[in-house]
């Protein structure tokens, strides 16, 4: 798949870049993600009186043909407020100590080949993984298999 030399968005069949075309119309791209995530962010922005728009991005690979990505835009003059609204939403999710601890666990990853105790990134349960597919014995999160 050919990509835009300016922003790296996959190009449409006619060579057009949807992200650059939106920018030329005065829209600022905020994020690119799956439909549900972009739709949720769009609803937050609309609830705050902003005018977000979303648009499907051409697929870059076979996976994106089945699960397309979407751009979320706002008019340029609404960009600062949009960042505040979305940033406030994320901040509210991480206000508690438990949420911060969970975010840290999730960012650390796990080493299933170490043979030592690991901590489940989802629930914090500590355990020594066995061979084969590993699941947290507390919450059932699938962690994969050792190399």
Return the DSSP state at 73.
Answer: E
- Per residue in 54-73, pLDDT (tens digit) is 999 999 988 899 889 999 99
How confident is the model over 85-113, as a mean pLDDT? Answer: 70
Q: What radius of gyration do the chain's Cα atoms show? A: 20
What per-residue confidence (pLDDT) applies to 82?
93
Contact 141, 129 (CB under 8 A): no
What per-residue confidence (pLDDT) applies to 115?
80
What per-residue confidence (pLDDT) applies to 92?
61
What per-residue confidence (pLDDT) applies to 81?
94
Angle ∠(111,115,116) on CA atoms, nearest 5: 80
- Which fold would CATH assign to domain 18-93? Alpha-Beta Plaits (3.30.70)
For residues 38 and 109, which has the higher predicted lDDT (pLDDT)?
38
* pTM, 2 dp: 0.63
- Per residue in 79-93, pLDDT (tens digit) is 999 988 887 756 566
Domain spans, the chain: 18-93, 97-144
In the chain, the largest separation of any two C-alpha atoms, in whole Å, equals 55
CA dihedral (57, 61, 62, 66) in degrees, to 10, reads -20
């Amino acid at each position: 798949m050919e990509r835009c030399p300016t922003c790296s968005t996959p190009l449409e069949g006619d060579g057009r870049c949807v992200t650059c075309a939106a920018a030329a119309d005065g829209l600022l791209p905020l994020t690119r993600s799956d439909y549900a995530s972009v739709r949720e962010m769009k609803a937050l922005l609309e609830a705050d009186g902003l005018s977000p728009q979303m648009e499907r991005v051409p697929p870059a690979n076979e996976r994106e043909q089945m699960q397309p990505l979407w751009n979320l835009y706002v008019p340029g003059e609404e960009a600062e407020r949009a960042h505040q609204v979305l940033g406030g939403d994320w901040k509210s999710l991480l206000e508690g100590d438990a949420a911060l601890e969970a975010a840290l666990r999730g960012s650390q990853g796990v080493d299933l080949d170490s043979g030592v105790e690991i901590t489940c990134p989802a629930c914090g349960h500590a355990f020594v993984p066995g061979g084969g597919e590993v699941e947290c014995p507390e919450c059932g999160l699938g962690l994969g298999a050792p190399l």
